[in-house]
Copies of this chain bind each other. A is one copy, B any other.
Amino acid sequence: MAEDLSTLIEDVIDAGKPEQEVLLGKLLNQKEFDALALLLESLPQEQRLSTWQQIPPESRIDILVEMRSDPRESLLDAMSLDELDALFKDLDAEDLVELTESLPPRLVDRALLAMDERQRKYYEVAQQYADNLAGHWIDHHLYVLPQNAKVRDALRLMRRELPEYVDAVYLVNRAGHFSQAVRLGAVIGAPDHVHLTDLVEPDFSQVRAEENALDAALKVQRSGYSALPLVDESGALLGRLDIGVASEIVNEYYEGQIMAGAGMDEDEDLFSPVVTSAKNRAVWLGINLMTAFAAAWFIGLFEATLQEVVALAVLMPVVASMGGIAGSQTLTLIIRGLALGQVSSGNRKALLVKELRVGGLNGAIWSLVVGIVVTFWFSSPLIGFIIALAILMNIVAAAFSGVVIPIILDKLRLDPALSGSVVLTTVTDIVGFVAFLGIGTLILL
């Protein structure tokens, strides 16, 4: 796939018009909407728009919903009202939920007006829940029957249409509350007159609409079923969360974590306009600049020492950097643990103790190595001793911060994947510089 796509991008960019059309036609015929979405995202703005013009109106919505929101917005912005109206024809609720964040409110209203009554109602249900809650991602293609239904009723449903990712019939009581589920496999093998309640799966899981979307999505992926019923607070069956949507939620979460490490979000467009992109990234540079200035201020406290012993100036980045790396290892481990729910008040202390020990051991080893190298490099056992001590202190401080910082950020409901590394680096920079230059001042002056 990845390699196919690379070839494809080259072909579209290099090929003349006629070949390009053949290629696009082939992808459209095979309904490779996801590949088309990735392709459009990979094209510079101008080629993206000209390629988009070649996509027939009836395929456009299927491609748009697969795209990341920034590049999608670049296409929606360039579309005329007529083109948009064509897009909004036969729009279903799930598509509009996906598009909403890329459309100005007046266009969302326009789309809603074009929608049929039932889909509009579905849309409103989804919008009651924020996009980090399971309810936002609800799907309405499901088999539902009353609890007293029999095998023949289920078969009648199945003979009509089998939607994607449906592998069970959900039974509801008179109040519309989800009660149990029967696998299609059990239905197909059974005689017509058998009650479905005799065939139910034991302990079939469900997902609450108010539940965190990521937790719910992981639950679906791990359930072994293609979808789980989605219920409201009272237990009423609202719809379902299927494994296709669940996989999108999980993949977006991971992509978000990776992008957050560099202060960006998962919707960042490979070819966003220069000004937009610079603006998106400037904030992160600004925050980082403040922490760098803070570190510089601390270094400034030791100007006199630096002037005396210029070797300290040469070596100080080594101390900061070793602390930063060691800290980021602990930080990464704890962030993953927090995301999986594995770090709790029960094991926090044990974790801290373990990380401090690992830090102590690695600190001892590497401060010894650095101490020896520096002793020979600068022909000064004293400077070797100073840097060894500073590195040991900084690696241990890094282990402590790597555990404590993400836990505190998580308690403050800040995303540790986004802000953890900035805070950590600030700590390891300052501890590193102050320890190194401070000990140097005490010993050498």
Contacts and interface: CB of A to CB of B under 8 A. Distances in A.
A214 B320 CA distance: 37
A225 B244 CA distance: 9
A274 interface: yes
A289 interface: yes
A327 to B, nearest CB: 9
A332 B257 CA distance: 11
Nearest to A297: B314
Interface in A313-344: 313-318, 320-322, 325-326, 328-329, 331-333, 336-337, 339-344
A219 interface: yes
A284 B158 contact: no
A92 B398 CA distance: 44
Nearest to A317: B295
Contacts of A429: 317
Contacts of A274: 354, 357-358, 361
Given A224-B244, A320-B317, A341 B4 contact: yes
Interface stretch (A80-88, A111-119, A160-168): A160-168
A263 to B, nearest CB: 7
Interface stretch (A53-61, A95-103, A363-371): A363-371
A313 B299 CA distance: 8
B361 A9 contact: no
Contacts of A247: 221, 243, 246-247, 250
A226 B42 CA distance: 28
Interface stretch (A124-132, A170-178, A303-311): A303-311
B318 A296 contact: yes
Contacts of A42: 337, 342-344, 347
Interface in A265-288: 268, 270-271, 274-275, 277-278, 281-282, 284-286, 288
B299 A314 contact: yes
A215 interface: yes
A265 to B, nearest CB: 11
A236 interface: no
A300 interface: yes
Contact of A332 (B226, B261, B278, B292): B261
B299 A317 contact: yes
A312 to B, nearest CB: 8
B12 A341 contact: no
A351 B270 contact: yes
A107 interface: no
A412 interface: no
A336 B268 CA distance: 11
A144 interface: no
Nearest to A326: B285
A444 interface: no
Contacts of A29: 203
Pick from A10, A183, A222, A244 the residue with the most CB of B within 10 Å.
Answer: A222
Nearest to A161: B185
A262 B330 CA distance: 9
A1 B358 contact: no
Contacts of A341: 1-6, 38
Which 8 residue pairs are nearest across A and B when measured between Cβ atoms? A162-B185, A2-B341, A254-B254, A10-B346, A5-B341, A313-B313, A13-B346, A6-B344
Given A165-B224, A274-B358, 7 more contacts: A34-B222, A221-B251, A259-B332, A262-B329, A263-B325, A284-B325, A292-B322
14 contacts: A1-B216, A1-B219, A9-B344, A14-B346, A44-B347, A162-B183, A247-B250, A275-B361, A278-B362, A282-B362, A285-B366, A289-B322, A303-B311, A316-B317
